[in-house]
Amino acid sequence: MADHLKTPPGQEKETKIYVNTKGLIWNKKEISFEELVNIAFPGSTKKEFDVTFIKGHSNQEGELLNGESIHVHTEMEFLVTPTNES
């Protein structure tokens, strides 16, 4: 993970989030596309995923693209799904 995404010591915050309806506590301010894929599909060799979210800042919703990160908010929900490859 890039240094600019790391939370400084002593500033970790426990935030409850949901990934594919499974609740978990996240201890960093941001979460990346790659971290979400690894939580939803640990050890997967599939390369293409869609990541969507709801309940972001000001009830924001949207899509997270490969290589992106987002600031987490309490009760934020993420849906990680494999894409259909032809």
Q: Which of 45, 42, 35 is nearest to 53 (CA)?
A: 35
**C-alpha torsion sign, points 4, 39, 62, 66:** positive
| Burial class of residue 55, CB neighbours in 10 A (0-12, 13-18, 19+) | middle
What is the value of pTM for the model shown? 0.81
For the domain spanning 3-82, the CATH number is: 3.10.20
pLDDT in tens, 15-32: 999 999 999 999 999 999
Tens of pLDDT, residue by residue over 39-52, are 999 988 788 999 99
Domain boundaries, the chain: 3-82
**Is 42 within 8 Å of 64 (Cβ atoms)?**
no
